[in-house]
Amino acid sequence: MVQSHLMPWVAVTTPTGPGSSLEVRAFVAATLLVGLLTIIMWELRHIFLIVNIALLYLLPVLTIALRWGIWPAIYAAGLGVLAFDYFFVPPVLSYTVADFRYLISFAVFLAVAALTASLAGTLRRQTHDALRRESLTSSLYELSRQMAAVRDLETLLDEVAQHVSRTFATPVPVMIALPDAHDQLRIAARTPVIDPGYRVNANVLDWVYHHGEQAGFGENKNTELLYIPLKTEDKVHGVMCIGEYGLGTVFNPEQLRVVEALAGVAAVSIARIHYEEEAKLSHLMAESERLRTALLDSISHELRTPLATIIGSVTGLLEGMDVLTLLDQRELLVTIREGSMRMNRLITNLLGMVRLESGMLRLNRQSNDMADMIGVALRQVQDALARRRVAVNIPDDLPPIKVDDVLIDQVLTNLLSNAIKYSPDGSTIRIDVTFSESTMTVSLQDEGIGIQPLEAERLFEKFYRSPTAQHIPGTGLGLAICKGIILAHGGTISARRGSPRGTVMTIELPLEHILIKEQES
């Protein structure tokens, strides 16, 4: 087929059908145009000079050349000469030419027509090429733009497959195979199957993957699938298979170039995602390493210190029964009690952390009274509170709140313990509860050492200990657990410096409205 290279194959170019019907349409159009012109000229033959008529016959030639290219134009020129000769050159209505000078005119006319047609044809091809290049560029641009936004491999592969499939005038089937953990190629993305007849050949796939070169292969006589390696400079990341069924023909060199360019963009995007994942993984590993070290440091220190006082006191008691006064003995016993309480708190916190992190935390949400929960927390720390003043401010019409009371108790107790730990004897701890349509806010203010402006966020990180509080024992777990529990309830917890001094811890919990009828007989 002569004009097959002019076929539009990029989806955005002129919407025309397959080649042969296009050809027919061009020649039919040429015939019609010349015929129409002839009829008009016949009617007006007394007004125009014969020279004018000859020139007017160039019009259909130009039109056809611009629209369909050189060959239909030359056909139009030939047809024009014949019509002009038959209808207008004397003797009229015969092919006989009386004046032989007309033969020269015909030759000139044909030459001019051919030249015009070929110029117009070239112009048309150039426009067409420009359009095609622009379409290729925009296709590549579109793909790379899409790829840049994608963060996970699965979506990326899907988008590549879809895009490649849509690039051609007729959608073609596309599959992308990537190696799995054992370096075995697996189909990771595919467009909906258009022709169920094609099959990916595993051997060809493997060969292309390991050699990094493209190949075409079909089970039968013809090439069914084109296997294109997705490679960057140093590595083959996978293989893209493209079916040629959609076009009914093999890809021409230009189409191949497009496919290769798209494969290149895809390969770079896949490589990018791989690198991102690797970077994330190594960051995670470094982070877990840091946490492990912190955990070991914290546990060994926090367990050993009270253990040392317990073992010391107990051995002192056992060995010194006769020399120690009753008062001394009592003193040692109190030390033992405090040491073991501290170990108990640490273990409770560690278990709490493990439960939160392993996702074993199950919320047992019941409608609860915040005032009651604050009362329970205050009771938990009542011995330590003996040397603090406590101001509790709770509105009378406080609505019930759906929370897990055991866990919220743990949060309140942790916050209260902190407030006591970091504030001086005789100072006041304020607890304020407020509520709005959608949230309940509990804030706890102490008059203690306060926090540094930049550590408000870090306070809630696991094992974080404020540099200003290193002299006070602690694991850096309490607030992390509080945050975990509050987040599990869909709430927020934050810390800020109090004014004029101290720390304010604020919990916000979502308030679901529970309709309660005050019914009493």
Partner 1 sequence: MIGARILIVDDESQIRKLLTVTLQAHGYATDEASNGHEGLVMAEQLRPDLIILDLSLPDMKGTSVLSQIRSWSNVPVVILTVHDDETDKVFALDHGADDYITKPFSMGELMARVRVALRHVAQSPEEPVLTLGHLKIDLIHRVVERQGETVKLTPIEYDLLRVLALSAGRVMTHRQLLRQVWGEQSYESESHYLRIYVGHLRKKIEDDPTRPRLIITEPGVGYRLLAPEK
**Residue 18 preceded by cis peptide, ω within 30:** no
Q: Cα separations (Å) of 55 from 41, 50, 106, 126? A: 12, 9, 11, 27
Q: Judging by beta carbons within 10 Å of its beta carbon (0-12, 13-18, 19+), is residue 464 exposed, middle or buried?
A: middle
Q: How far is CA 297 from the centre of its chain?
A: 39
Which of residues 202 and 514 has its CB atom nearest to partner 1 in the complex? Answer: 514
Contacts (Cβ under 8 Å, ≥6 apart) of 388: 420, 423, 425, 426, 427, 428, 429
Half-sphere exposure (Cβ direction) of 13: Cα atoms closer than 13 Å: 23
| Minimal distance, residue 376 CB to partner 1, in Å | 5
Q: Cα separations (Å) of 129 from 123, 126, 133, 252, 437? A: 10, 5, 6, 15, 65
The total of other beta-carbon atoms located within 10 Å of residue 135's CB is 18
| Minimal distance, residue 187 CB to partner 1, in Å | 48
Which of residues 200 and 403 has its CB atom nearest to partner 1 in the complex? Answer: 403
Which of residues 360 and 454 has its CB atom nearest to partner 1 in the complex? Answer: 360
Which of residues 23 and 338 has its CB atom nearest to partner 1 in the complex? Answer: 338
Which of residues 367 and 438 has its CB atom nearest to partner 1 in the complex? Answer: 367
Which of residues 279 and 406 has its CB atom nearest to partner 1 in the complex? Answer: 406
* 187 φ/ψ angles, rounded to the nearest 5 degrees: -65, 120
**Token pair recorded at residue 431:** 């607890």
Specify whether the CB–CB gap between 444 and 415 falls below 8 A: yes
| Minimal distance, residue 374 CB to partner 1, in Å | 6
| Minimal distance, residue 298 CB to partner 1, in Å | 20
The total of other beta-carbon atoms located within 10 Å of residue 462's CB is 20
Which of residues 308 and 392 has its CB atom nearest to partner 1 in the complex? Answer: 392
Specify whether the CB–CB gap between 257 and 290 falls below 8 A: no
User: What is the helix (H) or strand (E) element at residue 390, kind and residue range?
Assistant: strand 389-393
| Minimal distance, residue 404 CB to partner 1, in Å | 8
| Minimal distance, residue 351 CB to partner 1, in Å | 7
| Minimal distance, residue 422 CB to partner 1, in Å | 22
Q: Cα separations (Å) of 404 from 356, 364, 442? A: 14, 5, 16
User: What is the helix (H) or strand (E) element at residue 140, kind and residue range?
Assistant: helix 101-149
Which of residues 22 and 394 has its CB atom nearest to partner 1 in the complex? Answer: 394
Which of residues 78 and 399 has its CB atom nearest to partner 1 in the complex? Answer: 399
Q: How far is CA 106 from the centre of its chain?
A: 68
Task: Kindly give the interhelix angle for 58-68 and 101-149, rounded to the nearest 10 degrees.
Answer: 20
| Minimal distance, residue 145 CB to partner 1, in Å | 53
CA distance 287 to 461: 12
Q: How far is CA 52 from the centre of its chain?
A: 67
| Minimal distance, residue 146 CB to partner 1, in Å | 50
| Minimal distance, residue 341 CB to partner 1, in Å | 9
For β-strands 366-368 and 401-403, DSSP reports them as antiparallel
Which of residues 181 and 515 has its CB atom nearest to partner 1 in the complex? Answer: 515
* Residue numbers at the binding site for partner 1 (CB under 8 A): 340, 344, 348, 351, 364, 366-369, 371-376, 378-379, 390, 392, 394, 400, 405-406, 409, 514, 516, 520-521
Specify whether the CB–CB gap between 22 and 71 falls below 8 A: no
| Minimal distance, residue 518 CB to partner 1, in Å | 8
Which of residues 113 and 412 has its CB atom nearest to partner 1 in the complex? Answer: 412
